[in-house]
Amino acid sequence: MFKIAIIGAGSIVFCSTFLNDIFNVPELNGCEIALMDPNIDKANKVKNYADKLILENGLKTKVYATSDRKDSLKNAKYVICTFLIGGIGAFGHDYEIPLRYGVDQCIADSIGPGGIFRLLRTAPVYDSINKDINELCPDAYVLNYVNPMGALCTYLSRYTSLKYVGLCHGVQTTMDLISGYVDVPKEDIDFVAAGINHMAWFLELTHNGKDLYPKLKQNMEKPEFYVNEKVRGELMRQCGYFMTESSGHLSEYLPWFRKNKLSLDAYCDMPDFGGESGAAYHFTKNISEKYADADVFELESGKLESRSKEYCSYIIEAIETGVPFLFNGNVANDELFISNLPGDSCVEVPIYADKQGLHPLSVGKLPNHLAAMNLSNITVQSLAAQAAYEADPEMVFWAISMDPLTSAVLNLDQIRAMTAEMFDAQRQWLPQFDGKTLKKTPTINIPGDVNPVNVPLDPALAINMRFGKL
């Protein structure tokens, strides 16, 4: 029977969900699951939860906890990654330092200053995982849940040999919302979604061959619908397509919704992931503090819950049984699955899983204005991946400078100062940058009585300027 390694098993919500889902599938009964986390106490708590489920449901699956990553990876067929480097301390720097400079992030884990520094912390760990997998389980499927998804998967494509797919629940959870907005059962809606992670577009929405977009657009003009989706709703009103990410998260990916108080008040005034400042950080911090000394599994009955919407167990089931499963995942665009996005970018497209593995599908060309919005983020992801690989502080600065939200709020001097402060705060998690610092560009003060230097001009150019022809 096959082996599954979960790297970051101390991520209690994700890990317990994956275990519950796997235990729900009869065809996966009897596999071996290694729960790996540097904090062995957390891993053991998850193991105790798993053991209770196994006992209560008469399963043959074997689960063990370990803090030894190599032990967990040895002979693994599937590697599920769900870890966070730096924990709540690093997350706080990702959110609070940019906020002091005026860059107000809602989630701060996938794009912008927060997402970029999360990538910098994560890349060295994935380099080590890549080395271990090449040695211990070179054919393993890597199911990545680690953010920043787009930038990280770009990094994995360019600088590792991992057979990976990036997984997110944005598509399936958005489909729940769309189902309610158009009053059609989710399972009866046919759709095509493609783009990049957290910025994938529903290119088609149909029910029995009938286009659902007219009804969705009509309803989004109504206040009771629009108030739930101020960012996504407004973007659809302007560009014609609905997106796969929450309004609060999406507001970080574009320059129009969080750049000043007027925009924040208009579009980001809903609580939590509706746009609230620091929603993800505050939620994570509160949960971390609330359950710091508690065993969240203590009252678990041992009964299996319904299978979740996470793709992970469905993909493993499809590969093991050969019964195809269609999902949206993040992969390299090396075969131009989206033809008008770069071949070295990461895209989120439909993928089939079956006995032969994972098969991304081509969706052709995105409407150009949708591709342009994706490209603004691909530029940031590309620079960030290069910066992480080369450990180049200047490239980190340029990745943050090209971020749509940051560049709408700050000038280059301010971005440089903010980036330097984030480096100073996070050195302990950035070993690849040891001994490297961001260069300083002092402000040039111009006296009021300064005389500009005399610049010689081509005679023809001078004549044209004189007579206003340029």
Q: Tokens 């400078």 — which residue?
A: 401
User: Is 321 exposed, middle or buried, given 0-12, 13-18 or 19+ CB atoms closer than 10 A?
Assistant: middle
User: Residue 436 is encoded by which pair of tokens?
Assistant: 């490297």
Using CA atoms, how far residue 153 sits from 156, 337, 375, 393, in Å, is 5, 15, 16, 20
| Amino acid identity at 100 | R
Closest-CA residue to 240 (of 211, 209, 258, 214): 214
Check if the beta carbon of residue 116 is closer than 8 Å to that of residue 86: no
User: 169 catalytic, yes or no?
Assistant: yes
Closest-CA residue to 338 (of 174, 212, 192): 192
Please pick, among 93, 169, 249, 359, the residue that the annotation labels catalytic. 169
Classify the C-alpha dihedral 361-364-366-368 as positive or negative.
positive
Cα distance between residue 51 and residue 297, in whole Å: 11
Closest-CA residue to 382 (of 168, 150, 199): 150
Check if the beta carbon of residue 164 is closer than 8 Å to that of residue 139: no
Active-site residue list: 169
